[in-house]
Structure 1
């Protein structure tokens, strides 16, 4: 899907895993693929991972496994984001670091796709 290729985070291998999660989760939305993607990304912006809408990131144990498998990419995405914002990003839900990192990076990845495809 072309919209997924527009992310500035494509250079990271974890983007392929994020794409799989997005494609699996957007199937529940009405419309053609692009409309499904837009609706999914809008829901993600409203609720975020904390809402439980991403089954892969509900349980801390799943987040820990994902984080361990993609640690370098997730930490690099966080650094890129903090550099662009000019300040550190707070873990406002006080989640375990690995859960925070999965949520932060996945949400940023989704927001970046939305920004580059629908704004």
Structure 2
């Protein structure tokens, strides 16, 4: 899908993993591919990963494995976010670092796609 290539984070290797998750998760929505994507991204903005809507990021063990696999990309995305915000991003739920990083970066990735494709 073209919309998924519009992300400012497309240069990171984790982009492919995130894209695969989105393409899989959006299948449960009705409509055209674009409508499915929009509905999925809107749900993500409303509920976030904490809701359990992303099966790959429900369990800490799965997040830890994903984080270790994509550590450099996830930390670079966080740094990019902090640079643009001008402040540190806080883990307000006191999650394990790896779970926090998976959720933070995936949610930011989804928000970026929504912003570039639907706003």
Q: TM class, shorter-chain normalised?
A: over 0.9
Q: Deviation digits for residues 25-63 of structure 1, max 9, x if unmatched?
A: 000000000000000000000000000000000000000
Tell me which residue corresponds to 1:32.
Answer: 32
Tell me which residue corresponds to 1:97.
Answer: 97
Task: Provide the C-alpha distance between the structure 2 equivalents of 1:70 and 1:88, rounded to a whole number of angstroms.
Answer: 20
Task: Provide the C-alpha distance between the structure 2 equivalents of 1:22 and 1:92, rounded to a whole number of angstroms.
Answer: 25
Q: Deviation digits for residues 79-118 of structure 1, max 9, x if unmatched?
A: 0000000000000110000000000000000000000000
**Does 2:67 match 1:62?**
no
Tell me which residue corresponds to 2:19.
Answer: 19
Task: Provide the C-alpha distance between the structure 2 equivalents of 1:95 and 1:52, rounded to a whole number of angstroms.
Answer: 14
Tell me which residue corresponds to 1:114.
Answer: 114
Task: Provide the C-alpha distance between the structure 1 equivalents of 2:93 and 2:39, rounded to a whole number of angstroms.
Answer: 25
Task: Provide the C-alpha distance between the structure 1 equivalents of 2:110 and 2:46, rounded to a whole number of angstroms.
Answer: 12
Shift of 1:17: 0.1
Coordinate RMSD, CA, aligned: 0.2
Gaps of 5+ in 2: none
Task: Provide the C-alpha distance between the structure 2 equivalents of 1:85 and 1:12, rounded to a whole number of angstroms.
Answer: 20
3-state SS in 2 of match to 1:117? helix
Q: Alignment length, in residue pairs?
A: 119
Shift of 1:66: 0.2
